[in-house]
Structure 1
Amino acid sequence: MEAISEHTGKVFPLDRSNVDTDQIIPKQFLKRVERTGFGQFVFHNWRFDDDGNRREGFEMDDEKFKGASVLLAGENFGCGSSREHAPWALLDYGFRVIIAPSYADIFYNNAFKNGIILIKADEAQIKEWMEKSEDGNYNLHVDLKNQEIVDENGTVVSFDIPVYHKEKVLNGWDDIALTLLLDDKIAEYEAKQPKVVTPLADAGIFK
């Protein structure tokens, strides 16, 4: 996955709590086998009716929020099922940072595994940013290395983040990359294991 140390992006305010993974990416779109292409379906049931016609009133599709990459949300974001398609859809749409008061645990870990920065912030602070971002022309700068959010006035808000997740995103390490960091030790361990001999191997069928 792509390494991120800093990100500046337009803010989209989603002033809703308990947004579950079925709202993020509805179940009918989980048949795809690849990780890409889910962005077009993110928040689908809020954006489109049953006939596929675009609904009015959900501002993410407003031109003023085009290109938004920082999502502000209410508490318990990502609750519901454990589907990893939810962070895939958000990332594919273009969101690189999500800021909310709290998250569902499984979604929290899944998002970091896919390179999305999840930040827990004070609810009052998030409400203030939401109000400022309503015109579609508000940006926030996230400095992951120093664990700071900087607004357009230069105000700095610090945040906490688990060291494990921070290091993964800073270095662009997914779970496979973390395993490969131990490639030498894995090879050393395998070399010490006794060779398993089977009748088929003895017969020269498998070696």
Structure 2
Amino acid sequence: MSEHTILHGRAAVLPLANLDTDQIMPKQFLRGIDKSGLAPGLFYDLRFDGAGQARPEFILNQPAYASTNMLIAGPNYGCGSSREHAVWGMQQFGFTAVIASSFGEIFYSNAMNNRLMLAVLREDEVQALMREAQAGTGPLALEIDVENLRVRSPGLSASFTLSERHRRMFLDGLDVIGASLTYNAQIRQFARQHWAAQPWLKDVAHITRKRLDTIT
């Protein structure tokens, strides 16, 4: 059994429908030249008021939820712009998974390619999880069984679906680059056959640059 077979978590409820990527990661946090340092921007306008003070009513600001690493979210989570920073920020904040009845299409692809697990349940199942979570005094204990495609809480067990590619990526601990590199042998074989059949195309840019350097 892979260490990635079951994701264990403590979940908070964020019941807002249509929570878009501009709210997940506001534009002012997109100025960096790499993906680092995004955690402070996550849900910034929900977490803080106009003076930059933490909103005590926001669930992730409450001490009992400091260990939260999963979200139970409203429908169409991650709609809006295509910014991948929303996924990176969630992971840097500590999130490993989101459960909802639907997700924005681009956000879904970005998340799964970066190994942020998204589990799509029926809306009535999501609502049942929300009620169970809200009945407690802290995060709801959850596990997401990637091998058997089930979400389990103390009071619910529900199935979800994944494409086989995404399922294998999670089970094997791979992001999209790692998944591509599993085809390294086939890629190299194709390249050898391609250059053997069309040798005049190999390193054409490098060869052209060398010729231009000799002219100048």
Same fold by TM-score greater than 0.5: yes
Q: Secondary structure at the match of 2:124?
A: helix
Q: How many residues align?
A: 202
Structure 2 gaps, min length 5:
none
Q: Secondary structure at the match of 1:71?
A: strand
Aligned to 2:164: 163
From 125, 137, 140, the equivalent of 1:138 is: 140
Q: Aligned partner of 1:145: which letter?
A: E
- Name the stretch that deviates more: 174-183 or 36-45: 174-183
Aligned to 2:40: 40
Q: Aligned partner of 2:9: which letter?
A: G
- 1:166 CA displacement: 1.1
Structure 1 gaps, min length 5:
none
* Identity across the alignment (%): 32
Aligned to 2:184: 183
Aligned to 1:120: 120
Distance 1:150 1:174 in 2: 24
Is 2:154 the partner of 1:152? Answer: yes
Evaluate the alpha carbon distance shift between residue 180 and residue 56 of structure 1 in structure 2; reply closer, same or farther with a 3 A threshold: same
Distance 1:15 1:175 in 2: 30
Q: TM-score w.r.t. structure 2 length? A: 0.85
1:46-125 → structure 2 map (5 Å cutoff): 46-125=46-125
Distance 2:16 2:110 in 1: 21
- 1:165 CA displacement: 1.2
Distance 1:66 1:59 in 2: 9
Distance 1:7 1:23 in 2: 26
1:11-30 → structure 2 map (5 Å cutoff): 11-30=11-30
Distance 1:106 1:199 in 2: 39
Aligned to 1:129: 129
- 1:72 CA displacement: 0.5
- Name the stretch that deviates more: 16-25 or 185-194: 185-194
Cα RMSD of the aligned pairs, angstroms, is: 2.1
- 1:200 CA displacement: 6.0
Q: TM-score w.r.t. structure 1 length? A: 0.89
Q: Deviations over 1:18-67 (max 9, x none)?
A: 00001000000001223232122110001112331212321111011111
Q: Deviations over 1:61-83 (max 9, x none)?
A: 10111111110011100000000
Distance 1:190 1:19 in 2: 44
CA contact 2:12–2:68 (8 Å) conserved in 1:
yes
Bigger helix share: 2
